[in-house]
Structure 1
Amino acid sequence: MDKPLKIAIAGLGTVGAGVIKVLNDNKDLMSARCGRSVEVTAVSARDRNRDRGVSLDSFTWYDNPVDMASDDNVDVVVELIGGSDGIAKALCEKAIENGKHVVTANKALIAHHGTALAKAAEAKGVNVMYEAAVAGGIPIIKALREGLAGNGFSRVYGILNGTCNYMLTNMRETGRDFDVILSEAQDLGYAEADPTFDVDGIDAAHKLAILTSVAFGCEVDFDGVQTEGIRHVSPIDIEFAEELGYRIKLLGITSRQNGTVEQRVHPCMVSKETPISQVEDVFNAVVCEGNFVDKVVLQGRGAGEGPTASAVVGDLVDIARSLSVPTFSVAADKLEKLSSASLARHKGSYYVRLMVVDKPGVFADIAGVLKEHNVSMETIVQRNRAPGETVPLVLTLHETSEDSMLKALDGIGALDSVVETPRMIRIEDF
């Protein structure tokens, strides 16, 4: 049996402790599968005395995690600190500089600095592995980069944030408002005290930027992800979606089009007949569309100690087996720099909810604005008549450009009979 693979872990939160548990509990299995043992030799965290449910007695402790990158008794640095810059970035850069492999669950770091880290690592002949950064326990990076490597991809999309999926599921099932469900998600530990990264789509955008690079062999471009969260989705929209045969999901969608790449994160209405509409609660799912494999759907838990630790250990197994693959599917110096497709030119169908004063001429005024911008109505739904009162009016629109749709909404929002900002959700045909 070859010499042990020696691991240093920076960050001993839920995932870090989980990695140690997996390596301890599956020690014999790991040795059998890798042909050598995988051993933790060093650790670092903010609080040395906190009880993490695992013994740290046999490990070298570092107060400064960056110092682990210079430890001769370390082959792989596992970065579980988080954050796109600061100590996490410094640790990874130092590890690569010293010829050590890096495994990370840090989607923000990879989304912002993945291209630079990949170039540095490949120049040094070491790996940067990040399976745990996207979709938790779902092996989507390995699937795109290896299992489906014989395919050219046209589109990859999915539910990439379990917090938002939990919230949308429970809003639909209970009819309760966004704020109530958010508070519940925070109490359950699904959402942070500051939920911005989750509910505003930033977490999903980090993951989508990574998937885009792996799928299309291009530089990671987080700034090119057009991002919208779920704060404006209300129970009434969810009810209307059900009535119209749809479910509302926060999706990340990336596609390659004529030398550009379109990356977008936003709430979508998807048919209840599609597999992704059935993915509920905290689960994630990713759909890959390849030119030979057609559609592949991967589903599983997107976060949590076990699933995320499992993904980290999966990367460690690859390194222990001496498996070396390009960080983003193709050699880092061959990554394309693709321009971002403008969402204004996106074409699709739309759901629009208006709150209008129920009076004669409302339909005619709205239809006039739509006609002015070459937008065609497919359906109109008004549940109840209440002359002189405010009522919801729902439209679905035939395929049109985003630019035309937004101009039409501006015009409709300016009508005297429309008393609230129009709410728009894109309808996706999968």
Structure 2
Amino acid sequence: MQVTETLNEGLKRGYAITVTAAELDEKVNEKLVEAQPEIEMKGFRKGKVPMALLKKQFGQRLMGEAMQEAVDGAMNKHFEDSGDRPALQPEVKMTNDDWKEGDDVNVEMSYEALPEIPEVDFSGVELEKLVVKAEEEAVTEALNNLAETAKEFEAREEGAAAEDGDQVVIDFVGKIDGEAFDGGAGDDYPLVLGSNSFIPGFEEQLVGTKAGEEKDVTVSFPEEYGAEHLAGKEAVFTCKVKEVKAPKAAEIDDELAKKFGADDLDALKAQITERLEAEYAGAARAVMKRALLDKLDSLVSFDLPPSLVDAEAKQIAHQLWHEENPEVQGHDHGEIETTEEHTKLAERRVRLGLLLAELGQKAEVEVTDAEMTQAIMAQARQYPGQERQFFEFIQQNAQMQQQLRAPIFEDKVVDHIVGQAKVTEKEISKDELQKAVEELDEE
């Protein structure tokens, strides 16, 4: 086995690997010896088939395996000896296309090596941790929102006309071209006017109706309506208004608290305060994390694998293009050109990604099974009723597992760095925190 360097330029590496015919023949013989005790062949007892016959029968079939194992072995030994870590899967190709049994195998291997990451002293890194307390005004606003969701409806006085926000109890029958259709009828249906829970234009036509009245409501189903036989068609709904009810906000008291699982109003306020401050802490952490990444980006400098930067720039360009063209759902569009801005952002992401990965490895940061399970469960909640299928999909998809693991790993590395930095707390208002978060989106 011979490995000769052919390229060493920046992070680019190239090697010529030669596996001799004798080495291949030896590997094939090893495989035949290993398999011989289990092979049966007509005219011979099990395990007694002569090697010459085995080689004639199976040698050619085993040659491909021997080639692959020899090349893989040479590559693994090279990376072990050199300490190189390829940025992407090495490109390997056989150069003697006219190879025949008895010839040496010549292979070219090329890759981009991951760079050496310099040591970083975090003791001089200064960070500001924003702290926001839940103000009474915010707690009151949250309580009012809860009271709104818990509101009830009570009958208006006889003869009162329905207003926007009222609840009307109706019987209705829908027809298209005079024919009733499946799913177009209901009895005693409580419809809140202005809730937009019915077809656009339906609820507005019931504003002003009174209990005991009957009214025909004419609407058109949207062109993109889920049921194809109804999409785009005009329908007339004959509605009988049975009751008109006005909304009545729930009282902010102990009874409201009990509806939301708290013992009393003070306990509910405490829960709201805790939830709000947890939300503020999450937003403040995002601000501090961005500040840390900015500092790290200016602290370190090293060569970046061009292939990683190029791939990241293309991904950024692709993502931004879809954000600007939301009507395009698929990916069968033309190639999206990357700009200098895409490349600059890609360089930052690759640099920080490599740095955090190196720091996490040195600090022996690991994502636990419990943390992965929690992340999967959080994602699974987006698919109610299909949680089991989602779990199975994740278990069978290594790429999806990595997508879930990566942000957890990154956050744990960030926490590790923050633990070594100089962190000072600064108490600010909710509005000031909101402004700081908005500035993150603008960058």
Indicate the TM-score class for this superposition, using the shorter chain for normalisation. under 0.3
Query: Given the two structures, how large is their TM-score scaled by the length of structure 2?
Result: 0.18
**Structure with the higher fraction of residues in strand conformation:** 1
Query: Given the two structures, how large is their TM-score scaled by the length of structure 1?
Result: 0.18
